[in-house]
Amino acid sequence: DVKVTQSSRYLVKRTGEKVFLECVQDMDHENMFWYRQDPGLGLRLIYFSYDVKMKEKGDIPEGYSVSREKKERFSLILESASTNQTSMYLCASSPPLEQYFGPGTRLTVT
Amino acid sequence: GQQVMQIPQYQHVQEGEDFTTYCNSSTTLSNIQWYKQRPGGHPVFLIQLVKSGEVKKQKRLTFQFGEAKKNSSLHITATQTTDVGTYFCAGRYGNKLVFGAGTILRVKS
């Protein structure tokens, strides 16, 4: 079974803090993705990566950056957290077809 | 950019009734995928449709891909309480997967 894990299920941070969200997959997938999920908006792609040290902007990259130093790990960074970044963050990894999602991190920025 | 419109946003049905959610794209899709997210859970892949006019079934779930590869539907026959959750379609445009906003299904027993 594919396993995608995320470092935290719940996180509370203050405005202006730097936030790291970690995602690890154990299936040697090349493709990894970060989404945020908000009610009524579905899943919106923040960044994705098709290989180590490679990253591409998704639909809503502003305020975020990513890092992929190793194939199994894809990190999402909020350089200076803001209240409008309060959301559920989902990581996914993928062979060429379907995506496997992690459990999600519910981030609250106060 | 590419968008996948999904309707309805929300549906509340009596147990045993049928349920359908629809997705539409203004441009042709390479394929379309469907995911289910249980309350408090994460999206889980259900199926992928690739061919024009394709129909696939999984027990009480029927998935269709339109002839023009611009629309798709998921139909659940005789819903059960275990069907509750949010159903997402995701359309592929080249190497990009774009999710619909999802349809929340509630089943009243």
**Residues B82-99 pLDDT 10s:** 999 999 999 998 878 899
What band does B5 get if pLDDT is binned at 50, 70 and 90?
very high
Query: CA dist A82 to A15, A43, A75, B53, Å?
Result: 5, 19, 18, 45
Residue B9 has pLDDT above 80, yes or no: yes
Comparing A86-100, B6-20, B22-36, B66-80, the range with the smallest average pLDDT is A86-100
Residues above pLDDT 70, as percent of chain B: 99
Phi and psi torsions of A7, nearest 5°: -65, -30
Residue to substitute from B97, B98, B103, interface A, most A β-carbons within 10 A: B97
Nearest to B1 by CA among B70, B97, B71, B72: B97
**A102: closest chain B residue by CA:** B42
pLDDT in tens, B51-74: 999 999 999 999 999 999 999 999
Q: Supply the pLDDT for residue B2.
A: 80
- Classified as helix, coil or strand, A16 is coil
Nearest to A62 by CA among A49, A75, A45: A45
Indicate yes or no: CB of A43 within 8 angstroms of CB of B43. Answer: yes
Cα end-to-end span (Å), chain A: 37
CA distances to B26, B31, B102 from B92, rounded to whole Å, are: 13, 5, 16
In this predicted structure, what is the pLDDT of residue B7?
97
* Closest CA–CA distance from residue A80 to any residue of chain B (Å): 26
Reported as a single tens digit per residue, the pLDDT across A30-88 is 999 999 999 888 899 999 999 998 999 999 999 999 999 999 999 999 999 999 999 99
pLDDT of B1 over the 80 cut: no
Whether the predicted pLDDT of A1 surpasses 80? no
Is the model's pLDDT at B25 over the cut of 90? yes
Confidence of residue B13 (pLDDT cuts 50, 70, 90): very high
CB B29, CB B42: distance < 8 Å: no
What average pLDDT does the segment A95-105 reach? Answer: 90
Total residue count of chain A as it appears in this document: 110
Task: Supply the pLDDT for residue A96.
Answer: 75
Measured between CB atoms, does B91 come within 8 Å of chain A? no
Residues 7-46 of B with CB under 8 A from A: 9, 33, 35, 41-45
Whole-angstrom distance, CA of residue A104 vs CA of residue B41:
8
Alpha-carbon gap, residue B43 to B87, rounded angstroms:
8
C-alpha angle A8/A9/A13, rounded to 5°? 70
